[in-house]
Amino acid sequence: IKACADKLKREMELYGFPPKFPEDVAVEKEKEVNEFVIKDKSKGKKSKAAAKAGGAKFQWQIMESLGLKDNEIKDFANTDHWLKYFPPLAISDLKNMGLKADWRRSFITTDENPFYDSFVRWQFNHLKAANRIKFGKRYTIFSPKDD
């Protein structure tokens, strides 16, 4: 969430609002996706990865592909907005698939819910002390760097 929010902030700083992305970057990405031809299965390009990548290079374009308008996308530069926007959509999708759950017991493990967040922090510290996990170089919700 934080990485995507930061990426949106950078894109708005570099390209304005709504952003005007360079044309050559978008055209090159389209060519890359359409150029792969599998001759030998073991030597072919990663067609699954290319299909999942889509044509969007920028976070803004990814958000547009979800059907969001420019004024809505701007709000996602704030990490708290992600926590309010997507969970109800996920719950709705899960209910539509037939999942039965006690939704009163759902939690967000960030500073938005300090009690549950403290439990998750304790658990991660406990696992780290036991050498069960290591701190990596990518953003996570639990990050002493952003604390």
Q: Return d(Cα 128, Cα 118) in angstroms, integer.
A: 15
Per-residue pLDDT reduced to its tens digit, 48-79: 565 556 666 899 999 999 999 999 999 999 99
Cα→Cα distances 49→36, 45, 46, 88, 96, Å: 11, 9, 5, 29, 28
Return the top range by mean pLDDT from 25-39, 41-55, 106-120: 106-120
Q: Return d(Cα 24, Cα 33) in angstroms, integer.
A: 15
Q: Which residues lie below 8 Å from residue 139, measured CB to CB, with a gap of 6+?
A: 1, 2, 3, 146
Q: Which residue has the tokens 């926007």?
A: 85
Token pair belonging to 79 = 């990490």
What whole-number percentage of the chain has pLDDT above 70? 70
Question: Is pLDDT above 60 for 30?
Answer: no
> What is the model's pTM?
0.59
Of 87, 65, 68, the C-alpha closest to 77 is 68
